[in-house]
Amino acid sequence: MRNKCQFKWVVVFLLLSGCIGCASISKDVQPTDPHDPYESFNRKSYRFTDEIDRRYLEPIADAYLAHAPEAVRRPVNNFYRNLSYPGVALNSFLQGKVRQGISDTLRFVINTTVGIFGLADMAGHMGFAENDEDFGQTLAVWGVHAGSYTFIPIYGPSTQRDVADIPFSFFSDGMLFLAYALSGPVLAPLALLRVIDKRASLSGPMKVRDQSALDPYLFVREAFLQQRNFLIYDGKLPGTLYDQLLLDEPMMDMGGSRNDVTLPHKKFLILKK
């Protein structure tokens, strides 16, 4: 529910802001967050996922960033973003955004054809903005409450409401249709490269988390929840939520450097779409 520039602004805001008051509170004496009643389990899931990431995904992503030129990485990223775009268009329609849904559909068609299967963002050059919609946001528009925060092993941060987006995104993703058209020896490398591309796009924010967050788990949780609110409200947060955004920032080390980070265009998550 935003264009890329809007979301990039809010991520920059989150990363460059610090919670001075919260930073002085010990983790042991902090009250249980009502949005995270299963914090003990979620922390274990977070540690498990983080360990898998550090051992396997991070080294591969770092090597990819170091050795693959931008001229290669950008078309690859465009290709996978385009594969997932049918779900964006469908959710635009489900939220009643008919004009945006038509624009999203045209964007997908143009990039798939003129852009050679999405390798080039020709639609962007033609003025068709890229949006970010998912079924979790659609449910929010329909009035479904977010429910509890949960950290799904390997997948990443979510809420009870956003879990519904997992099967929706799976069945609306172009990769599913490629599975019927391509053989295993071709499909497997494509699926693996998608994971590497996604992890590489999150490399900058995750390094900021490691260098600056006093409590990485809380940093990820608060950034995720605030980001979801931003998407749901199209960047036009109600006054109460905007005040919360200012006062309830992720806990960060104020001494860390945060000015040399390349931020991704997509969601600031651990292993999530």
| Residue 255 three-state SS | coil
Please identify which residue in the block is written with the tokens 């962007």: 124
Q: Tell me the pLDDT of the chain (273 aa) as tens digits.
A: 544 444 444 443 444 443 333 333 344 445 578 889 999 999 999 999 999 999 999 999 999 999 999 999 999 999 999 999 999 999 999 999 999 999 999 999 999 999 999 999 999 999 999 999 999 999 999 999 999 999 999 999 999 999 999 999 999 999 998 888 887 788 899 999 999 999 999 999 899 899 987 899 999 999 999 999 999 999 888 766 555 555 555 544 444 433 333 333 334 333 443
Q: Cα(162)–Cα(169) distance, rounded to whole angstroms?
A: 11
DSSP conformation class of 271: S
pLDDT of residue 213: 79
Cα→Cα distances 227→14, 33, 42, 126, 269, Å: 9, 17, 19, 28, 10
Residue 207 lies in a domain: yes
Number of domains the chain contains: 1
Residue 270 lies in a domain: no
Q: Cα(228)–Cα(268) distance, rounded to whole angstroms?
A: 10
pLDDT of residue 242: 53
Residue 271 lies in a domain: no
Q: Cα(165)–Cα(204) distance, rounded to whole angstroms?
A: 25
Domain range holding 52?
A: 4-19+38-247
pLDDT of residue 47: 98
pLDDT of residue 235: 86
Nearest to 7 by CA among 129, 143, 151, 183: 129
Which residues are bridge partners to 156 per DSSP?
Answer: 152
User: What's the angle, vertex CA 49, arms to CA 54 and CA 76, rounded to 5?
Assistant: 65
Q: Cα(37)–Cα(32) distance, rounded to whole angstroms?
A: 7
Here the contacts of 74-77 (C-beta below 8 Å, separation 24 or greater) are 75/119, 75/120, 76/193, 76/197, 77/197, 77/201
Helix (H) or strand (E) holding 30: none
160: Cβ contacts below 8 Å, ≥ 6 apart: 146, 147, 148, 150
User: What's the angle, vertex CA 85, arms to CA 81 and CA 88, rounded to 5?
Assistant: 130
Q: Are 125 and 81 in contact (CB under 8 A)?
A: no
Residue 43 lies in a domain: yes
Residue 182 lies in a domain: yes
Residue 237 lies in a domain: yes
pLDDT of residue 184: 76
Q: Cα(247)–Cα(239) distance, rounded to whole angstroms?
A: 12
pLDDT of residue 240: 63
Residue 262 lies in a domain: no
pLDDT of residue 179: 85
Residue 213 lies in a domain: yes
